[in-house]
Structure 1
Amino acid sequence: MVFGQVVIGPPGSGKTTYCNGMSQFLQLIGRKVAVINLDPANDSLPYECAINIEDLIKLSDVMNEHSLGPNGGLVYCMDYLEKNIDWLESKLKPLLKDHYLLFDFPGQVELFFLHANAKNVIEKLIKKLNLRLTAVHLVDAHLCSDPGKYVSALILSLSTMLHLELPHINVLSKIDLIENYGKLAFNLEFYTDVEDLSYLQHDLDQDPRSAKYRKMTKELCEVIENYGLISFSAFYYKDCPSFANGSITHSFGQKVTYSSWFSQQQQYKRVKAEVILITHGQQGEGLLSPYVYFIMVAGYVFLCELP
């Protein structure tokens, strides 16, 4: 049985830096680790990767050959990887005996709730190679400085959890830089525990013209709280205790067990069913998928914050 992490999150959230730090930590405690770069746009790697998707396909070549932009090119690359999953499996098999695996995925969030390619790649690896993987979803901590952005980050995290259906850990990255964006309205535990979001209402714009926005934010917060799926671990690269003694490493011990995995699978299915009822009606019929619904709401939250 082989264990590993699927490292995901928006662009610039610190995925590659996290993989570099985690690989160094694992080596320090005597674990063999293999970092697998699956981001065809990441041509500046701080770590030595055991497998690099650029040996299979390069984003720059795809963009030039097919006249695609960076986002369309990444979707093409993930589709190409799924169709050539045998290449990745053959590269992974020599590492399965004694290595811990770190998968460094691209940052385009649509790959993880609008498209099935990345999810299919992960599922095929789990089934064919008997892997036990935990998703590590990084979110930049500066989003905590604004209540609207923070709620959007929560919805994004929830959407990703529902889509991937993996044991899941959410991480607030770059926590050491959070003070650069001003004093937080609440202490850090408020943002990591995600237990009583009603307090966010007091920090929103109280302009009467924002009444509908405040109401929508309140209802979104209630949805997030009712299911209780989301909490965050705080992390920054030079904080060794966040690996060695903190909640991140402790969480991995809980998330990779079968009972925890099975429990989360059942909870995800329940949440999906209820989201479908909300977005489609009692018969589950309609035009919007739950994932599209969530990202539309997240986008609306951002738009409402614009002057």
Structure 2
Amino acid sequence: MVFGQVVIGPPGSGKTTYCNGMSQFLNLIGRKVAVVNLDPANDSLPYECAINIEDLVKLSDVMIEHSLGPNGGLVYCMDYLEKNIDWLEAKLKPLLKDHYLLFDFPGQVELFFLHSNAKNVIMKLIKKLNLRLTAVHLVDAHLCSDPGKYISALLLTLSTMLHMELPHINVLSKIDLIESYGKLAFNLDFYTDVQDLSYLQHSLDKDPHSAKYRKLTKELCEVVEHYSLVNFTTLDIQDKESVGNLVKLIDKTNGYIFASIDASAVEFSKIAMGAPDWDYYRYPFFSHATILTLWPTSTHTKGPRGFLGLMSYHRCFAHGNDDYQTRESVVKSSAGERPLDMDYRRDSVWFTHPYGTKDFENMVEAAEL
């Protein structure tokens, strides 16, 4: 199992500098790092890369041969890389045993939410090489000083998150220069937490050019808040404490923190907890099943107790230390019985349980008394 980062973000956000500083930091803490440059327009690398896309295709050659501009040439290069993914896989295989990977991607935003080539490259590598990757999306912190630019950055970030479908961390880079283009209207937490964006409206109203777009700005802010996915962490790549905090966060998202757990400790925990009495693969989660949500109550009721399960009879029961009673009503349809108005995040924990049909019928009858 190999871990790594997919470094993305708009041009000028500091991706190459990030890869250089991050590789140095990871080397200092004992990790062997391989930087993979997948930006064919980056011909002056400050770091030593293990793999360089220029060995496969060069942007300058593409632009001349096909009469393309820089953006069109980059799209062509990503398409060419996707069609020749075997080349990249062959280059990566010698590094998989003991290296942590950093993928340095181009900054053209259309590659990540208008075209699917870059995403397809990442997904093919994940499936074929069993990679565990986190997308690190860099945004220049100075955009916070302009409400209009900040909202644009939020929309770009949200679009990229939805398109990439990876564990995702958004980073305000160059945080040490955040006020170099002007003083912030709010404290830093406002920009990192991305909440109450309506306050930005007051700042925009002061600009006569932005005032006429008041309704549009309001709608865009509501879109970002509706998804409630975007937030930021801060980074000063020259500050080792800042880089260390970011590394800890990335390690949590891609699972690296669990890679060093000793196998004996895992086996001991299995023995301590006992063997599970369900099989996730043998008994599927949602195969023609009906879920009844339940919640603990102080009223003592008859019937089995415990944790919520998905039964072979395609209904659920409560069985555990607390008393439970049914919360939602159930209706019948052509597809079977289904619950109404269920909040599975709040009310239930699901897993399969191979009880016999007759035993379960008795449990349901007892629970319904």
Query: Which amino acid letter does the alignment assign opposite residue 165 of structure 2?
Result: E
Distance of 2:211 and 2:108 partners within structure 1? 32
Name whichever of 86-95 and 235-244 sits farther off.
Answer: 235-244
Pick closer, same or farther for the CA change 1:187–1:95 going to 2, 3 Å. same
Residue 95 of structure 2 is matched in structure 1 by 95
SS of corresponding position for 2:190: helix
Trace 1:28-47 onto structure 2 (pairs within 5 A).
28-47=28-47
Aligned to 2:136: 136
Which residue does the alignment assign to 1:220? 220
- Map of 1:61-140 to 2, 5 A cutoff? 61-140=61-140
The whole-number CA distance in structure 1 between the counterparts of 2:243 and 2:95 is 23
Partner in structure 1 of residue 8 of structure 2: 8
**3-state DSSP class of the match of 2:68?**
coil
- Give the direction of change, closer, same or farther, for the CA distance of 1:215–1:42 in structure 2 (3 Å limit): same
Q: Deviations over 1:14-73 (max 9, x none)?
A: 000000011001000000000000001101001000000001111011111111111111
Cα distance change on mapping 1:235 and 1:208 into 2, 3 Å = closer
Per the alignment, residue 256 of structure 1 pairs with 254
Task: Give the structure-2-normalised TM-score.
Answer: 0.67
Cα 1:103–1:226 change in 2 (3 A) is same
Q: Could you list the per-position Cα deviations for residues 225-263 of structure 1 after superposition, in whole angstroms to 9, with x for gaps in the alignment?
A: 22211111111221111111x2x22321332249xxxxx
Letter in 1 for 2:37: N
How far apart, CA to CA, are the structure 2 residues paired with 1:65 and 1:125? 29
Give SS of 2:171's match: strand
- For residues 121-176 of structure 1, the C-alpha deviation after alignment (integer angstroms, 9 at most, x for no partner) is 00000000000110011111111011111000000000000111110011111111
Separation (CA, whole Å) in 2 of partners of 1:209 and 1:115:
32
Q: Distance in 1 between matches of 2:136 and 2:176?
A: 19
CA–CA separation in structure 2 for the residues paired with 1:24 and 1:4: 15
User: Which amino acid letter does the alignment assign opposite residue 250 of structure 1?
Assistant: K
Deviation track 1:174-194 (CA, whole Å, cap 9, x = no partner) reads: 111122101100111111111
Which structure 2 segments of 5+ residues have no match?
257-369
Q: CA deviation at 1:209?
A: 7.7
Matched, 1:163 2:163: yes
Amino acid at match of 2:136: V
Give the distance between the partners of 1:210 and 1:4, measured in 2 at CA: 41
CA distance in 1 between counterparts of 2:239 and 2:123 reads 32
Residue aligning to 1:203 = 203
Matches within 5 A, 1:224-303: 224-244=224-244, 246=245, 248-257=246-255
Give yes or no for contact 2:237–2:243 (8 Å, CA) kept in 1.
no
Residue 10 of structure 1 aligns with an amino acid whose one-letter code is P
Match of 1:264 in 2: none
Identical counterparts, % of pairs = 83
Q: CA deviation at 1:202?
A: 1.5
In 2 relative to 1, CA 15–208 (structure 1 residues): closer, same or farther, beyond 3 Å?
closer
- Deviation readout 1:197-237 (Å, 9 max, x if unpaired): 12111211246885551222122212212221111111122
User: RCO higher in 1 or 2 (8 Å CA, sep ≥ 6)?
Assistant: 1
CA distance, structure 2, for counterparts of residue 196 and residue 239 of structure 1: 30
| Alpha carbons 2:138, 2:171 under 8 Å: kept | yes
> What amino acid maps onto 1:2 in structure 2?
V
Secondary structure of the 2:198 match is helix
TM-score using structure 1 length: 0.80
Give the structure with higher Rg (CA): 2
Residues matched between the structures, number? 256
Q: Which structure has greater helix proportion?
A: 1
Change (3 A) 1:87 1:222: same
Aligned residues: CA RMSD: 1.5
Cα–Cα, structure 1 residues 11 and 210, in superposed 2: closer, same or farther, change >3 Å?
closer
- Whichever residue aligns with residue 37 of structure 1, its letter is N
- 1:64–1:201 CA distance, 2 compared to 1 (3 A): same
DSSP-derived class of the 1:49 partner: coil
